């Protein structure tokens, strides 16, 4: 599921900002970018993210905005005096030598002391900011999830409507199919009845009845329609239950698609074939959306 969040936590060394961006993915794919000072908290960051998010490509960026006014750099008098002594010695030996500029003096190692950053405090601030960013990201993903739930419910209603329509129309389709098949078989076997056949009229009629019955059983899709409705009801139940349901819905999409394929393979009328195509289209639309659900 997609989402973006950002949170900032103030620390004595400066403000720590955590940004999280999530896009769709079937599995958790986490990447982290952070300053070198915060390498020690990387395991904690990954653990915190994995505890809240199970699916999605998640990018995490941690930035530090240092507060120079809170910890200003200072001159080291001892280092400055040593540099001055060196400069005087050089001047005595080489009077024509150029004197050091102020910028050069400030760049001399040890002359300017930068206060040591409290890495542990920075790490604690980063983890607090991460917790807030995760909370905001979850709220964003939850809003998207609510919208997706509505879309999936609409597709479920459409699938059930097709199944109910077929349930009422299929019996008439089968009757018409059996009548047409009976007529064709009777027409094909009529010469055998009047010729020197070893089969009696009753045996031929009984064989026709058997073939029509077997074909009707193979063409009956009532069982597939019942399973289709059962799977749809389970999808609705899972959506109402909430929580991490993505993998469960993935499985149900496979089952729905299997029933739609079986329905299409048994199609013996144009209306039944069209219905199977409509079902597969609806299920594919649902499957694409399910990929976005955690």
Domain boundaries, the chain: 3-69+121-143, 74-113, 146-290
E strands in the chain:
3-11, 14-23, 28-33, 56-66, 74-75, 112-113
| Coil vs helix vs strand at 109 | coil
Length of the chain measured in residues: 294
For residue 202 the two structure tokens come to 């009753």
pTM attached to this predicted model:
0.54
- Examine the pLDDT at 155 and tell me if it is beyond 60: yes
Give the CATH fold of the 3-69+121-143 domain: Ribosomal Protein S5; domain 2 (3.30.230)
pLDDT of residue 197: 56
For 140, 151, 294, the CA distances from 2, given in Å and listed in that order, are: 8, 16, 10
Token pair 């190692």: residue: 109
- Mean per-residue pLDDT, 171-180: 65
Residue 178: pLDDT over 70 = no
- Cα 102 from chain centre: 58
The whole-angstrom separation of Cα 196 and Cα 258 is 49
Residue 44 predicted with pLDDT over 70: yes
DSSP state of 100: P
Q: Is the pLDDT of residue 129 over 80?
A: yes
Tokens of 193: 């009845």
How confident is the model over 188-192, as a mean pLDDT? 60
Confidence of residue 146 (pLDDT cuts 50, 70, 90): confident
Task: Name the average pLDDT for the chain.
Answer: 80
Q: Burial of 169 by CB count in 10 Å (0-12 exposed, 13-18 middle, 19+ buried)? A: middle
Over the stretch 264-284, which tens digit does the pLDDT of each residue have?
A: 776 666 667 788 888 899 999
SS (H, E, C) 54-65: CCEEEEEEEEEE
Question: Of the candidates 135, 129, 130, 133, which has an alpha carbon nearest to the alpha carbon of residue 11?
Answer: 129
Mean pLDDT of 185-207: 59
Strands 28-33, 56-66: pairing is: parallel
Q: Is the pLDDT of residue 160 over 70?
A: yes
Distance in angstroms between the alpha carbons of the first and the last residue of the chain: 7
């Amino acid at each position: 599921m997609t989402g973006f969040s950002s949170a900032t936590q103030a620390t004595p060394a400066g403000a720590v900002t955590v940004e999280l961006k999530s896009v769709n993915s079937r599995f958790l794919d986490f990447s982290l970018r952070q300053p070198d000072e915060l390498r020690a908290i990387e395991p904690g960051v990954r653990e915190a993210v994995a505890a809240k998010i199970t699916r999605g490509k998640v990018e995490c960026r941690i930035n530090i905005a240092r507060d120079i006014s809170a910890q200003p750099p200072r001159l080291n008098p001892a280092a400055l005096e040593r540099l001055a002594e060196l400069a005087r010695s050089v001047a005595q030996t080489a009077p024509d030598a150029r004197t050091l500029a102020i910028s050069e003096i400030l760049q001399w190692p040890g002359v300017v002391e930068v206060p040591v950053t409290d890495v542990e405090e920075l790490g604690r601030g980063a983890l607090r900011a991460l917790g807030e960013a995760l909370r905001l990201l979850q709220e964003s993903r939850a809003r998207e999830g609510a919208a997706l739930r509505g879309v999936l419910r609409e597709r479920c209603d459409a699938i059930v409507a097709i199944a109910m329509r077929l349930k009422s129309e299929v019996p008439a389709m089968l009757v018409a199919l059996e009548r047409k098949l009976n007529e064709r078989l009777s027409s094909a076997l009529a010469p055998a009845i009047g010729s020197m056949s070893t089969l009696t009229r009753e045996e031929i009629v009984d064989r026709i009845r058997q073939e029509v019955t077997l074909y009707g059983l193979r063409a009956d899709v009532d069982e597939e329609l019942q399973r289709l409705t059962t799977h749809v009801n389970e999808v609705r139940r899972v959506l109402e239950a909430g929580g991490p349901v993505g993998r469960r819905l993935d499985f149900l999409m496979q089952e729905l698609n299997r029933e739609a394929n079986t329905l299409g393979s048994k199609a013996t009328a144009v209306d039944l074939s069209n219905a199977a195509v409509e079902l597969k289209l609806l299920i594919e639309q649902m499957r694409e959306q399910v990929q976005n659900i955690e």
